[in-house]
Amino acid sequence: MTPGRAQGRLLGGNLTVLAHLVGTPYLPDFAGKILFLEDVHEGIYRLDRMLTHLKLAGLLSKIKGFIWGQCSDCEPDSSGYGSLTIEEVLDDHIKPLGVPTYRGAMIGHIDKQFTVPEGILAEMDADLGTFRLLESAVSA
């Protein structure tokens, strides 16, 4: 989506859960982070609403990079009024940030998934669609 490389601590997980932490003392600090998100069983209009919420809360403007995983069973609204695609929603909310961004990571509610350790220093390469950990996720 947006080429480049970024380095920062990993933050993220399920978009629905993270969006519901806004306004609570449990919301993590987004500053300088590589944000990775995924979701499951959500309408695309809901994904749009949650990303709008994060944007209006001033959180998306603080990140250094963005990785979109998988959105399992996330379908357009079936009411016949039309819907944006997930790609269009990400283009609307993430592309204007100008940070390295890619989508399609094996993160989410899927059979073959990466386990992503929260808070670990990582480097992402949006051109290659990869990220790598720069420190151990466990201590000896």
7 pLDDT above the threshold of 80: yes
Segment 57-83 shows an average pLDDT of: 86
Give me the pLDDT at residue 32, please. Answer: 98
114 pLDDT above the threshold of 80: no
Give me the pLDDT at residue 112, please. Answer: 81
User: Do the Cβ atoms of 30 and 11 come closer than 8 Å?
Assistant: yes
What's this model's pTM, rounded to 2 decimal places?
Answer: 0.92
Helices (H) and strands (E) in the chain, counts: 3, 6
Confidence of residue 79 (pLDDT cuts 50, 70, 90): low
Q: What angle do CA 6, 36, 8 make, to 5 degrees?
A: 30
Among 21-30, 42-51, 69-78, 125-134, whose mean pLDDT is lowest?
A: 69-78
User: Do the Cβ atoms of 39 and 14 come closer than 8 Å?
Assistant: yes
For each of the domains in the chain, give its residue range(s) and CATH number, in order of start. Answer: 5-133 (3.50.30.60)
Segment 118-128 shows an average pLDDT of: 97
Give me the pLDDT at residue 137, please. Answer: 86
Place of tokens 């499951």: 40
Handedness of CA 71, 77, 83, 89 (dihedral sign): negative
pLDDT tens digits, one per residue of 35-69: 999 999 998 999 999 999 999 999 999 999 999 99
Average pLDDT, the chain: 92
